[in-house]
A and B are shown apart, each in its own frame.
Chain A
Amino acid sequence: MLTKLNKILNKDLSALSYKIFNDTLFLLLIAYFMLLLAEGLIPGFSSSFLSFTKMTLLIFANLGLVIYLGRINNVSFSALEIKKNKLRLALFFIFFTFLMIRALYKFSVWEIVIIIITSLAILYYLYKIRD
């Protein structure tokens, strides 16, 4: 099926599709970020209007299309370099910290310590086994 699709997608159409799906992915991620921020401020606010599960699946589907079309157009997907993306990382870290504080706000000190240590241990383990 993919070879048939590759034949249908000529060079220009696949390039156009790649660019458009990149745009839609960007906009979906902005929408997701805003809805997550609203949900962090008022639990149930965003989820009463739409499903985060469906939105996550839509983003992954869009991402899949971007990767597929990127391969057709010989786009290389390299990992982000920390030095060149400090601002993005800083913003992500601030947003992540806000969500964590919001989620852990009402737990006791000991519960917060246990949750953080366990989460860091899992992240460290995932980092070690990534290769």
Chain B
Amino acid sequence: MFDLTKEIKLNPDWQKRYSLLHFFVYFIFLVSAVYFSYKVLFPSHLFNFFFETPDATKNTIVEPRSPENITLKKGNIKGGALVFDTALPNYEGDFSQIRLNFTLENNSPAIEEGKISLHKSYRAFFYPEGEPITTPFGDSGKFPSGSLLSSGNSVYITDNDKIYPIDNEITFSSMGFDWADVIPASSDEIGAYKKGKLFTIAKPHPNGTIFATKDKGKYYLVEDGKKRELIGQPVINSYLKRNPILADEKSLETESQCSLKENWNIFNRSYSCLIPLNNLQSLAGNDYQYEIIFGGDVELKQADATFEKSFGWNNLMLSLSNIKKKIFNANQTQ
């Protein structure tokens, strides 16, 4: 490798040391370049939750709660069970595994069991089943709950008397919505609703959403935290004013698992495990729901879930395609 400072001469011993260091520096640079390229072409996606600041916007893990659906504000896990979700955009391609990590408070008891099971679907499809609907849908006005409305450059979704602006097209497509279902509405029609907060990718589908299961051909209506099966073709036809969101019935049974093991870390107490995603990849949905059994009370400081990609041709092509799209989008929107 070339010498940039030929004017500085070293005696033979020091020249050998310099050659060695020179090679080492270039080797480190090359390894760093390869590592950086790997991180760019096979990006991971990190979600985390800091239990000391549960309301902070930096928390990307959705609603840590008990299995009884009681939202946890701090990391004090009584009864040793925890449920939370992570919502992944659909353009990011296939991840091969999730690395889960839990950091404990210093005074927390150790994790005795640490079993994790993971399901994938849409968050609202995880709702418990409610009473089936056997009567056709009556007239509820121009825009029934769950309608997609557009006004100007914005798209909204209705939920009874409220309307929520959808934050971006990534959320729109990741939630399984169809652009053909978007109805143009006037500003007066939009103004008739109470305006809610932004509808983000982490939100569940609102009331009025219809799910259709690809594997069993069933239809469900989302209503007040439950999913109610629509029984009979006349009932289904009366509710189906727009394309249903396609889901998989088997997503409720198919799961992936791992067991937490203590990390060797001198700075904090943490436990982690790797959950493979191969059996979940083909299932419809953008929501990953985790159920963790700790086996006893624990005090959590932080939870992390890192989606990692496998090194493969398809993921490489997808990354390059995303980079190309960003270059052309940057030219158009800058």
Residues of chain A touching chain B, judged by Cβ–Cβ distance below 8 Å, are: 12, 15-16, 18-20, 22-24, 26-27, 31, 41-43, 45, 49, 73, 75, 105-106
List residues of chain A with CB within 8 A of the CB of B29: 27, 31
User: B291 CB to closest chain A CB, in angstroms?
Assistant: 32
Q: Give the residue among A23, A31, A105 with the most B Cβ atoms within 10 A.
A: A23
- Bound together, the chains give a CA A38 to CA B251 distance in angstroms of 40
Q: Of the candidates A31, A42, A49, A73, which one forms a contact with B326 in the assembled complex, judged by CB atoms under 8 Å apart?
A: A42
Given the interface pairs A20-B18, A22-B4, A27-B29, the reply to whether A42 lies near B330 with Cβ below 8 Å is yes
Are A105 and B334 interface neighbours, CB within 8 A? yes
User: A130 CB to closest chain B CB, in angstroms?
Assistant: 27
User: B257 CB to closest chain A CB, in angstroms?
Assistant: 32
List residues of chain A with CB within 8 A of the CB of B25: 20, 23-24, 27
- Bound together, the chains give a CA A43 to CA B329 distance in angstroms of 10
List residues of chain B with CB within 8 A of the CB of A42: 323, 326-327, 330
List residues of chain B with CB within 8 A of the CB of A49: 36, 39-40
User: B55 CB to closest chain A CB, in angstroms?
Assistant: 25
Given the interface pairs A27-B26, A27-B29, A106-B334, the reply to whether A12 lies near B326 with Cβ below 8 Å is no
Q: Of the candidates A12, A26, A105, which one forms a contact with B4 in the assembled complex, judged by CB atoms under 8 Å apart?
A: A26
Q: Write the chain A residue with the least CB distance to B32.
A: A31
Q: Of the candidates A16, A31, A45, which one forms a contact with B18 in the assembled complex, judged by CB atoms under 8 Å apart?
A: A16
Given the interface pairs A42-B327, A43-B334, A45-B326, the reply to whether A18 lies near B8 with Cβ below 8 Å is yes
List residues of chain A with CB within 8 A of the CB of B36: 49
Q: Write the chain A residue with the least CB distance to B36.
A: A49
- B198 CB within 8 Å of chain A: no
Are B18 and A43 interface neighbours, CB within 8 A? no
- B34 CB within 8 Å of chain A: no
User: A46 CB to closest chain B CB, in angstroms?
Assistant: 9
